[in-house]
Amino acid sequence: MLVTGGAGFIGTNFVLRIAETRPDWRVRVLDALTYAGNPDNLAGVADRVELVRGSVADAELVDRLVGESDVVVHFAAESHNDNSLDDPWPFVETNVLGTYHLLQAVRRHDVRLHHVSTDEVYGDLELDDPQRFTEQTSYNPSSPYSATKASADLLVRAWVRSFGVRATLSNCSNNYGPYQHVEKFIPRQITNILQGVKPKLYGQGTNVRDWIHVDDHNDAVVTIVEQGRLGETYLIGADGERNNREIVELLLDLMGKPADWYDLVSDRPGHDLRYAIDSAKLRAETGWTPRYRDVRAGLEQTVAWYSGHEDWWRAAKEGAEATYQRLGR
């Protein structure tokens, strides 16, 4: 199995989980080791997982590695909305061109592909909309990040239909858990509180995200690789809708701070209001179901992980906060 982006947040958790639950699978990671990728994450499985440093935008390298694989799971991406508003080019290069090169390689070598994507391709919902996203929802991405992920999804669908590429796609909601970069919402607030700094809420903190533990996402990806119907898209979600203020209040409570100990800061331009996933198709076809049903318990585990791994996040924290200071958030 070739895992692109296997040194990032979700990819790391995926590789560690595969090493634990599928000891007979041979795994190779292709990762550019950008600011978001950390090779130390995979040190504990180095005897069983080969890490190749390189870009999915490197057509020759991708062709060689794909040709030596039976299945590719494609996590590699530029993943942070705020960065995509600041400098969109790396998002186009990695998310669009990188996916194009992978598709051409799996097509040439007839290799099975699973493409990992996001619910953000569907745009956003009103706060009071009774609908959730389904596989039938129209694409309507808002940010440069989500537009490049939508572009990649459409390339995958076209390669399936036009060239018979053996691929599945999944679109998941917001993940949380260990190894997430401190630029992202939940790790930023946990590490702020650990450093005695107030959490920062964009706007009024009323935007809603549908939270899922990273292990539940990755179990769903393995399930789709093993049971998914070729050419199909599956939405992955765990019924975890909370607004951002509710998440901060949970963290403050877990970490022994007053419920109003946060700052409201300037909003993200074009900030999507609400995401919500209906994952009935995946559950009905495969029997997959989330194991982390209690967001508070999942956050408690995540707080414990960041509290015990300051040496993992301290260096990245300074850089992330310098960027937020420049952006006024």
Kindly report the three-state secondary structure assignment for every residue of 297-326: HHHHHHHHHHHHCHHHHHHHHHHHHHHHHH
Q: What is d(CA 196, CA 191) in angstroms, rounded to the nearest whole number?
A: 9
What residues contact 92, with CB distance under 8 A and at least 6 apart?
A: 144, 148
112 binds ligand DAU (CB under 6 A): no
Cα dist from 169 to 36, 185, 191, 237, whole Å: 23, 25, 33, 14
Strand, coil or helix: 292: coil
119 a catalytic residue: yes
Q: Among the options 78, 119, 241, 278, which is catalytic? A: 119
Nearer to ligand DAU, 104 or 148 (CB): 148
Backbone phi, psi, residue 14, to 5°? -65, -50
Strand partners, 168: 114
Nearer to ligand NAD, 50 or 257 (CB): 50
71-74 and 49-53: which strand pairing? unpaired
243 binds ligand NAD (CB under 6 A): no
201 binds ligand DAU (CB under 6 A): yes
The token pair that represents 98 in the structure block: 């990188």
Element (H, E) at 162: helix 144-163
Nearer to ligand DAU, 55 or 180 (CB): 180
Choice from 148, 173, 279, 302 touching ligand DAU (CB under 6 A) = 173
Nearer to ligand DAU, 27 or 208 (CB): 208
210 a catalytic residue: no
* Listed ranges 115-123, 126-134, 217-225, 292-300: which one lies at the site for ligand DAU (CB under 6 A): 115-123
Choice from 13, 244, 279, 302 touching ligand DAU (CB under 6 A) = 244
Per the CB < 8 A criterion, the answer to whether 73 and 170 are in contact is no
317 binds ligand DAU (CB under 6 A): no
* Listed ranges 7-15, 122-130, 275-283, 299-307: which one lies at the site for ligand NAD (CB under 6 A): 7-15
Question: Which residues lie near ligand NAD (CB under 6 A)?
Answer: 4-5, 7-11, 30-34, 36-37, 55-57, 75-79, 94, 98, 116, 118, 149, 172, 174-175, 181
